[in-house]
Amino acid sequence: MDISFTNLRNDSDDNENDNDNDEVLPSEDQQLIRHHVNAVNAEIVIRQLASQGIAFQLWPAASTLLSLLDNHRILHPFLRRDNCRLRLLELGSGTGLVGIAAAAILGADVTVTDLAHVIPNLDFNIAANAEVVGSGGGKLVAAELGWGNVEQMEVIGKGFDVVLGSDLVYHDHSYEPLLETLKYFLLSLGDEEKVFVMAHVKRWNKEAVFFKRARKVFSVDVIHRDPPVDGKRGGVIVYRFVAKPRK
């Protein structure tokens, strides 16, 4: 997977009226990041807006999931359902890289989600990749979803086979809403087959609380570990959550 960075400043200076979003966002921090995806021999283009906050940047955990989807196919046995079209939900999508790549590579129906203020950039990135996703038969839609918001979860519905997420566990006040969201989408009668694949970077010891609570209702396995990078304590770890068998 090749990643190259393009500063959009010059482009947007030349084409001021090309896109409504460009008019309301500061242009100096806009970057288009191009990912060559071997599996579809095409580029996925992601707009980053670094000055807008954490949801507008690409995080290493997202790159790991992309790499697994693209090169190693490690995830595919966990995601594929025989002869069925895959329906996939991404939580905390940020820039949308993982969901967009999954739609393109797997030809899946994907709903990318995040908080309301993130949706315009997700829509931008969906539009930017419509051709590559469409040519593989994938479908993408963005929806607002604050974790634990029952009304928003009901609007999105439960019809997903797989839930994906990258770098979601950091604020301890979000542990419980995130778990409630996972329970909503993964735990219904007859839903033992559903799976949550989460790429995570450990930053604080307190994150153990999230995993301890999760293990009360889910079986949680490690399916991939990146080696540590740049002297950090640990690299990205990818977990698989499935519902524990009911007694």
Ligand X SMILES: C[S@@+](CC[C@H](N)C(=O)[O-])C[C@H]1O[C@@H](n2cnc3c(N)ncnc32)[C@H](O)[C@@H]1O
- Interacting residue ranges for ligand X, rule: CB under 6 A: 54-55, 58-59, 61-62, 92-95, 114-115, 118, 145-147, 166-168, 174, 177
- DSSP classification of residue 70: I
* Closest approach of ligand X to the CB of residue 59, in Å: 4
Burial degree of 164 (CB within 10 A; 0-12, 13-18, 19+): buried
Query: CB of 148: closest distance to ligand X in angstroms?
Result: 7
60 or 134: whose CB is closer to ligand X?
60
Nearer to ligand X, 132 or 168 (CB): 168
The C-alpha atoms of residue 9 and residue 42 are separated, in whole angstroms, by 24
**Please, what is the minimum distance in Å from the beta carbon of residue 228 to ligand X?**
18
Which of residues 15 and 204 has its CB atom nearest to ligand X in the complex? Answer: 204
The CB-of-14 to ligand X minimum distance in angstroms stands at 28
In the complex, the smallest distance separating the C-beta of residue 91 from ligand X, rounded to whole angstroms, is: 7
Dist. CA 232–CA 125, nearest whole Å? 30
Nearer to ligand X, 192 or 234 (CB): 234
- The span from the CA of 220 to the CA of 211, in Å, is 8
To ligand X, the closest distance from the beta carbon of 167 in angstroms equals 4
Tokens of 163: 């839930």
CB 49 within 8 A of CB 8: no
Other C-beta atoms closer than 10 Å to the C-beta of 188 total 12
Choice between 167 and 226, CB closer to ligand X: 167
Nearest distance in Å: CB 58, ligand X: 5
In a 13 Å sphere around the CA of 230, the CA atoms on its Cβ side amount to 2
Distance of CA 174 to the CA centre of its chain: 17
Helix (H) / strand (E) element for 46: namely strand 42-49
Estimate the crossing angle of helix 119-128 against helix 97-106, to 10 degrees.
30
Letter for the amino acid at 178? L
Residue 148: Cβ within 10 Å count: 16
Q: Which is nearer to ligand X, 10 or 74 (CB)?
A: 74
